Structure 1
Amino acid sequence: MKTIALLVVLTVVAADIEFYKTANDNYDIKALIANATELQAFLDCFQDRAPCSELTASYKKNIPEAVVQACKKCNPSQKHMFRQFLEGVKKVVPKEYNEFRQKFDPENKYFDALEKELSKF
């Protein structure tokens, strides 16, 4: 009986989470990382160095809160994509990774928790 009550409570709590809405929750991040021009366009948008497309803007608007809250409002697909993005940027263009991290976590208080959460996906 306790198990059923716990499941009901968890279901209600999970139902109350409002996930981020993005233009594409199934975007091929591996292809993005492999395409230097497209990757740079994403990074330039995120770093305010260039205009954003509708797609990149849909991701960018959520990044500040997602970093601070360890992607609490990210759905599983978004968490997986964010993990792939960060790992790919770190590997392919580490300087850009450090700039991204500095922009969205200048005091270095949140990123480790974010990456720990994303590592589950």
Structure 2
Amino acid sequence: MKVVLLTLCFALGVLAQDQYESANDNFDISEVIGNDRLLHAYANCLLNKGPCTPEVKQVKEKLPEALETRCAKCTDKQKQMGKALAQEVKKNHPDIWKQLVAMYDPQGKYQQAWKDFLQE
């Protein structure tokens, strides 16, 4: 669901106390959005189809919690990056979007919460 790519937004964070670490909040999301090869590589990591960079591996580890909590521990910057990535993938890479949703939300239990989150 829309969440999945939200993961890429935290591209990036190691769990801190109340929020994910903001050390990578300066990550240039436009670099991923504008580069199909990079976007596919990140998606392959999330889908267990390819190797992971350390940043995306951290995202992958935090994804289940982020989905459950509607990204409650995400910084504002991470939420902004996640929304941008989710919108890009859903619109321009629907095949990847479907795979991510099937893997991370197969029962659709996060669908409404993430729909609301992405429209905030």
Class of the TM-score when normalised by the shorter of the 2 chains: 0.7 to 0.9
User: Once the 2 structures are TM-superposed, how far is the Cα of residue 61 of structure 1 from its aligned partner?
Assistant: 1.3
Distance in 1 (CA, whole Å) between partners of 2:68 and 2:114 is 8
- How do residues 54-73 of structure 1 correspond to structure 2 at under 5 angstroms? 54-73=54-73
Partner letter of residue 83 of structure 2? Answer: R
- How do residues 1-121 of structure 1 correspond to structure 2 at under 5 angstroms? 18-21=18-21, 24-120=24-120
Higher RCO, 1 vs 2 (CA within 8 Å, ≥6 residues apart): 2
Residues 23 and 54, structure 1, Cα contact 8 Å, conserved in 2: no
User: Once the 2 structures are TM-superposed, how far is the Cα of residue 34 of structure 1 from its aligned partner?
Assistant: 1.3
5+ residue gaps in structure 2? 1-16
TM-score for the superposition, normalised by structure 2: 0.78
Partner letter of residue 98 of structure 2? Answer: N
TM-score for the superposition, normalised by structure 1: 0.77
What secondary structure is seen at the aligned counterpart in 2 of 1:85? helix
5+ residue gaps in structure 1? 1-16
Identity %: 33
Distance in 1 (CA, whole Å) between partners of 2:116 and 2:30 is 20
